[in-house]
A and B are shown apart, each in its own frame.
Chain A
Amino acid sequence: MRLTGAEIIVQCLLEQGVKTVFGYPGGAVLNIYDEIYKCKDLQHVLGRHEQGLLHAADGYARVTGEVGVALVTSGPGATNAVTGLATAYMDSIPMVCITGQVPVALIGNDAFQEADTVGITRSCTKHNYLVKDVKDLARVLREAFYIARTGRPGPVLVDIPKDITIAATEYSPAKGEVSIRSYKPSISGHTGQIRKAAGLMAKAKRPLFYTGGGVILSNAAEELTQLVRKLGAPITNTLMGLGGFPCTDKQFVGMLGMHGTYEANMAVSRCDLLVAIGARFDDRVTGKISQFAPEAKIIHLDVDPTSISKNVEVDVPIVGDIKTVLGKMLAMMEDGKYQSELPDLGDWWAEIEQWRRKECLKFTQGDEVIEAQYVIQKLYELTKGNAIVATDVGQHQMWAAQFYGFEKPRRWLTSGGLGTMGYGLPAAIGAQMAFPHETVVLITGESSIQMNIQELATLKQYNLPVKIAILNNSFLGMVRQWQELFYERRYSESDMTVHPDFVQLAQAYGATGMMTARPAEVSGIIEKALAIDGPVLMDFRVNREANVYPMVPAGAALNEMILL
């Protein structure tokens, strides 16, 4: 069958099971848009800025586990997409981004809306392609999807010149799985190493699980939960790992790291075995690296070999897919002898209970000023912990991680690696597009939301009932916190007192807007918002000078925390 490049693109998307494409048209992609116009089976979501729609595709990928797809034009379309690609790259989110390019003959000519997209995005994609022959197009697109979703997932970009979308070639449907000789991720894990790890777990007196986003990405929450319960050991999640283990389970000691709980960080500092799964020893987690888990043997399971022994020397490295490896580990433990040999962790838990008694997350909600933590607590209660929660970046993000508990994976959308302000609103849009009947809540700050506020129009266009909670302290809150603690309160350019009237702004975009500065009104407003079938923006004027605690100062060891 002879098809044009544009037809091949649409065919390949359908063949890959793509249902939704997040995009923004422009000159170089007009032929592709003309095909999309004719295609009934592909839903196109029009954003308002390429950065936003890349984050939307990212949010869609995080909640569904499928590859998020974005389509943008050449030049500025592609450069606007870069932040979205970098965000997805840092958090290992499977995405395919198709960019238009000027016709092959004009490449390198400084043509109108030309940018060296492959060059610009090389370091923020897992892989990228420039298609210079229509005969390569189908293969490249199939490879792109395969690379995006296998191994350590990530964004893949395919740059397609305009004339390639017009040119025609013979097209045949995909035959079998893609195979790339230079790309063969290790999946199964080394059996000897897995057995060694299981052996160490069975002997440890003070074991601790430290698990990250990899657990979510490989859909291994079920296996992880079984394993952790079998061993009776405590478990802490990274920011990216929240939801990988039920937060209400007694074995969960909260998040670790810079704003982790006292009990989690103390447990890291005291454990004799650290089982790191799908986590990469990020500096926000480890604090001073030389004093991270100083007494522990370390097992590290990750699909990406470069993550292993990058920051911390490990004793038992296992390269493989987490779901597969944990499955094997569980099978090894079916052996009854293993179970009977497990040591009693009573003393270890007694130690942990001591730390828990500090109640490091406690705060007081008075009658006058709303505390941000209180708003999140109320959101948790009133959504019964069932919402999909997106955040932006800053204090509100840390409070959301601390105070909105997650029972299940794929309910928590946050930019962990890159820390992208402006991520939240579009990510919430992506999540709501994927699950129109779920409650999607965006917890954000007055500064963060303004980074991609134009996407309120997208909310309206698709009538997405996202509930936006702005924790408005009229400050770049986290910047202010650092300035208070480490720069002697010199609040250089962190004051955001001038911001729009969010209620009117919401209305201008066709959403419902509500505002309060009174603690007594918080619950009522949230209830009302949840009852409205459509987008709602809640502007909560919160305590201007509250800080996120506990906190490990940059460069300090985890057990040198500042408590409130």
Chain B
Amino acid sequence: MKHVLSVLVENEAGVLTRVSGLFSARGFNIESLTVAPVGDGETSRITLVTTGEDNIIEQIIKQLHKLVPVIQVHDLTDRSHVERELMMVKVDAEREVRAEVLRIADIFRSRVVDATPNTFVVEVTGSSDKLDACLNLLTPLGVVEVVRTGKVAMARGPKRMKEVLPA
């Protein structure tokens, strides 16, 4: 089963390698992984999507926790949470197709962030399913390039991770 983990780590050199190295060395899967510093830059938050049986996920969480720079690990899967992904799609768009691209972009509440006489870059955010759906519609029109961030996720409600927020 797919699990979304939110991992709070010290923002120090090499921490991402420690996390990804743990997965490769122990034969766990990574489906997607996003990371950026948060708060005042002392901590980073990693959102990691992985798959496995319950006992594997339990091991993954424990092993992540064992890494010295890892402060906290939350499995958001069974908790009420929000998740989003960002995608940018560059589409071949000349003459008659241009209107169609704009229409699709509109349906998905996405934005065109770059336009040339023969291409558009469309920026879409939302659930990964929504991004897939959008991409499915754009593909027949001639997709040149796609880039996706992978999921970022956060629990709903007052519960929070211990990152150091700016004063």
Contacts and interface: CB of A to CB of B under 8 A. Distances in A.
Q: Note whether A and B form a binding pair.
A: yes
Interface residues of B, number: 19
B65 interface: yes
Nearest to B24: A123
Nearest to B12: A129
B25 A309 contact: no
A182 B69 contact: yes
A306 B68 CA distance: 14
B59 A310 contact: yes
Contact of B10 (A182, A304, A305): A182
A157 to B, nearest CB: 12
B58 A127 contact: no
A309 B68 CA distance: 21
A309 B60 CA distance: 12
Contacts of B14: 118, 122, 130
B130 interface: no
A116 to B, nearest CB: 10
Contacts of B66: 304-306
Contacts of A306: 59, 62-63, 66
Interface in A340-377: none
Interface in B1-51: 9-10, 13-14, 17-18, 21, 25
Contact of B71 (A182, A310, A313): A182
Contacts of B71: 181-182
B116 interface: no
Interface residues of A, number: 18
Contacts of B124: none
A486 interface: no
A309 B58 CA distance: 9
Interface string A289-316: 0000000000000001110011001000
A119 interface: yes
B147 to A, nearest CB: 27
A130 B13 contact: yes
A182 B13 contact: no
Chain B interface SS verdict (over half): helix
B70 interface: yes
Contacts of A183: 68
A182 B68 CA distance: 6
A449 interface: no
B80 interface: no
A161 to B, nearest CB: 14
A123 B21 contact: yes
A305 B68 contact: no
A180 interface: yes
B37 to A, nearest CB: 15
A122 B16 CA distance: 12
A200 to B, nearest CB: 23
A512 B9 CA distance: 56
Interface string A310-353: 10010000000000000000000000000000000000000000
Interface of A: 118-119, 122-123, 126-127, 130, 147, 180-183, 304-306, 309-310, 313
Interface of B: 9-10, 13-14, 17-18, 21, 25, 55, 58-59, 62-63, 65-66, 68-71
Given A183-B68, A309-B55, 13 more contacts: A118-B14, A122-B14, A122-B17, A122-B18, A122-B21, A130-B13, A180-B68, A181-B71, A182-B9, A182-B70, A305-B65, A306-B62, A306-B66
29 contacts: A118-B14, A119-B17, A122-B14, A122-B17, A122-B18, A122-B21, A123-B21, A123-B25, A126-B68, A127-B68, A130-B14, A147-B68, A181-B71, A182-B10, A182-B68, A182-B69, A182-B70, A183-B68, A304-B66, A305-B62, A305-B65, A305-B66, A306-B59, A306-B62, A306-B63, A306-B66, A309-B58, A310-B59, A313-B55
